[in-house]
Structure formats: structure tokens, C-alpha cells
Amino acid sequence: MKPILIIKTGSTFPEISKHRGDFEDWIVAGMGLERVQFNIFDVSKDLPLPEYNEISGVVITGSHAMVTEHYDWSKRTAKWLAGAVEKSIPLLGICYGHQLLAYAMGGEAANNPNGLEFGTAYIHLNEAAKEDSLFSILPSKVAFQVSHTQSVIKLPPTAKVLASNSMDPHHAFIMGDCAWGIQFHPEFDADIVKRYVEILRENLRVKGLNPDELIQNCFDTPYGEKFLKRFAEIIIAQ
């Protein structure tokens, strides 16, 4: 199998990576494959992304950057993602990756008008998700970890919504047959999201959230790992 490309758009906080690793480590572990099966590509290093025929699938990580900041590396990556969608390469955009995929295909990301979403949240799958090759393994109401300020406020013209909740009507969408954007974090566990809340405690409080309540309501869920392993299966089956 050709390598699975992990497009690294940022890193977690040093106080988290010191003990738990970084975004790409959590994605690799969640997908249940060996590290040698992945190509970890840091797009901030100003190098050309791999040729499409050199990879079997793509995961775009989250980031502490914002899509609306329009960094050069982000705009270059967006153009590359549009080509990957056109070539029907299995692709999964997580959080920042979800928003960047939407932007690349004609949608829009911005501050979530409903506010910040942190902690463990329930997400509701719609009827389209029940027939989707990736989402059909999940129950109609499922808990995932969330940590984001911005979201997709306008979908690309041909995107199809798969999941939503009261905070975000576009928690997940699909483009074509195999390019998914997800606002939630299947690679996070409860410990990671609790660490995020602790680090951002004062900022969250200023924004009207209760950090202690968020931490108290965090819990582990088996669905993140199941979701990532299912995405790995889709790639391998291509």
C-alpha cells in the first residue's frame, strides 16, 4: 500500500506533547496502522506536497492557526486538497482540516456564531450518514471530543451534511464519494481535551464557559478509534 499522507497543519501545546505526543501521533494510533505506513508532512516548511499518485489517502490535522488568517502554506494546501478531491483520493479533514477542505472547495470558515465548543459533545447523524461508508458504523447520536473556535459557516456548493448539533449545523460533511470534513476530534481522548480546557481556562471563562463544568462533563468514548479505523479500512479497500 502506498503511504497515507498526514498533512500536519500545526502542533498541540508543548505541555501536552511532552506527555502525550502530537496530533499525528494520535491519528496514527487511532487508525491502528504501523507508523511506517504514514508520510507525515509539515506544510509550514514550504515544501511541495507529494504527487497524488504517491499516496493512498490523506488526513489533515487540526491546528491552533485559523483558516481565516490565510497563511501562504494554508492557501497552497487548499489548492492541493481541491486536486485530491477531484482525483477521489480518500481524505479526512479534522477541525482545521475540515474548515480548510470547505474553504478549498468554495465554502467559508469563520468564528462560530454560536460560540466556542469545548469538551465532550453529542453529535447527531442525519439520514444521509446512515448510508455513508464512513459514518454508517456510528449510532445516530454519538459523543466525540471537541475543541474549536471557528467552524464551517458556509458549505461548499456540492457538499452534503452528515452530522450536526445545536452548536454547529455542519459538524460533518462529504464531498464526492470519499472526502470528509469533521469538526470534532476522533483522535482526542477525554484526557487530551481536559488538558486543553485547563490550558485555556482563563480564555474560556472570559468567553462565558465554565472550565470546571467542562472538565467534569468530559468522558471517554470508543467511537473516535472506531471512526479512524473505519477510515483506514476505506483507504486499504481502494
Report, as residue numbers or ranges, the catalytic residues.
95, 185, 187
H or E segment and range at residue 142: strand 141-148
Cβ proximity of 100 and 179 under 8 Å? no
Cβ proximity of 144 and 172 under 8 Å? no
Q: How far is residue 211's CA from residue 215's CA, in Å, rounded to a whole number? A: 6
The β-bridge relationship of strands 91-94 and 108-111 is unpaired
How would you classify residue 131: left for phi > 0, otherwise alpha for psi between -120 and 50, otherwise beta?
A: alpha
The gap between the terminal CA atoms of the chain, to the nearest Å, is 10
Cα 232 from chain centroid? 15
Cβ proximity of 162 and 128 under 8 Å? yes
- One-letter amino acid for residue 228 of the chain: L
Cβ-in-10-Å burial (0-12, 13-18, 19+) of 131 comes to exposed
| Count of beta carbons in the 10 Å neighbourhood of residue 98 | 28
Is the alpha carbon torsion for 173, 158, 151, 70 positive or negative? Answer: positive
Helix (H, G, I), strand (E, B) or coil at 30: helix
